[in-house]
């Protein structure tokens, strides 16, 4: 059997559950209610790749790039360290009006064609080599388009990302979409991970992942200011 190449997430316990990480070029959906740690996971995954010398594209639809960077800095992750290896696609600033600062700003997530072109430009800018693309959040994309257009668009993005040797990681708010939308998004992705919070306990579960033998049980984790997401206790590999 061929060995599956995997991309480390930077989250030790999570990688162990996946026998080393997310399969190369897979597109994965991260689903959870607000405040469960989706953005932190995305940031940690992207930062880990950049540190390894990979390229990155951050499609931010819920906050401006400056705020994303500031939030990441609280964890010690400085996205300004990577120069042209990282491009932010600013899908937020259009809301505020005025001239956007970035050449990769879009005029709103409803224009999927423009977003597609901007993504192609961003890929050109970062150049050849392995990439990690993160999108925060798919929920906003759906809000400004409609579920079926968003799903079709993401299917294209996922195919493009595979063709350019990239992993795609996307966040989705739980509790605001119909089950049918989540099922369809699950179908067009290679993996689905869930996050949840009960009082002070945070947990994640890998629901689905191509090319990987894994359990679906819930693993407790913490979010720490200096380390980001960290699984609690010993995490067993496989089932």
Ligand X SMILES: Nc1ncnc2c1ncn2[C@@H]1O[C@H](COP(=O)(O)OP(=O)(O)OP(=O)(O)O)[C@@H](O)[C@H]1O
Contact residues for ligand X, defined by CB under 6 A: 32, 34-40, 74-75, 173, 223-225
Residue 132 interface partner, choices Mg ion, ligand X, none, CB cut-off 5-8 Å depending on type:
none
Closest distance of CB 173 from ligand X, Å: 6
Given a contact cutoff of 8 angstroms between Cβ atoms, the answer to whether 231 and 12 are in contact is yes
Give which of ligand X, Mg ion, none residue 131 binds (C-beta under 5 to 8 Å, depending on kind): none
Positions that interact with Mg ion (CB under 5 A): 38-39
Among Mg ion, ligand X, none, what binds residue 173 when CB lies within 5 to 8 Å by partner kind?
ligand X
Residue 9 C-beta: closest distance to ligand X, Å: 14
Structure tokens at 6: 């995997």
Partner interacting with residue 7 (select from Mg ion, ligand X, none; CB below 5-8 Å by kind): none
Minimum CB separation of residue 127 from ligand X in Å reads 29
Q: How far is the CB of 76 from Mg ion (least distance, A)?
A: 19
Cα angle, residue 147 at apex, residues 144 and 153 outer, rounded to 5°: 85
Tokens 């989250």 correspond to: 11
Within the chain, strands assigned E span 6-7, 22-23, 27-32, 55-60, 86-90, 131-136, 166-173, 191-198, 201-209, 219-224, 228-231
């Amino acid at each position: 059997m061929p060995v599956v190449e995997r991309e480390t997430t930077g989250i030790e316990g999570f990688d162990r559950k996946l026998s080393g990480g997310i399969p190369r070029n897979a597109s994965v959906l991260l689903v959870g209610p607000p405040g469960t740690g989706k953005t932190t996971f995305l940031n940690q995954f992207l930062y880990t790749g950049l540190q390894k010398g990979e390229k990155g594209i951050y499609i931010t639809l819920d906050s401006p790039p400056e705020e994303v960077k500031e939030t990441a800095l609280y964890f010690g992750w400085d996205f300004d360290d990577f120069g042209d290896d990282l491009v932010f696609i600013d899908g937020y600033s259009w809301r505020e009006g005025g001239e956007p600062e970035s050449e990769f700003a879009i005029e709103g997530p409803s224009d999927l064609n423009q977003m597609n072109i901007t993504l192609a430009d961003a890929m050109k800018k970062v150049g050849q080599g392995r990439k990690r693309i993160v999108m925060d959040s798919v929920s906003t994309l759906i809000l400004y388009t409609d579920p079926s257009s968003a799903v079709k668009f993401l299917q294209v993005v996922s195919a493009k990302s595979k063709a350019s040797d990239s992993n795609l990681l996307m966040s989705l708010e739980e509790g605001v979409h119909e089950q049918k939308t989540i099922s369809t998004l699950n179908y067009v992705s290679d993996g689905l991970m869930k996050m949840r919070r009960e009082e002070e306990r945070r947990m994640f579960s890998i629901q689905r992942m191509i090319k990987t033998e894994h359990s679906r049980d819930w693993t407790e984790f913490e979010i720490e200011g200096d380390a980001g997401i960290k699984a609690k206790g010993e995490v067993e590999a496989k089932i």
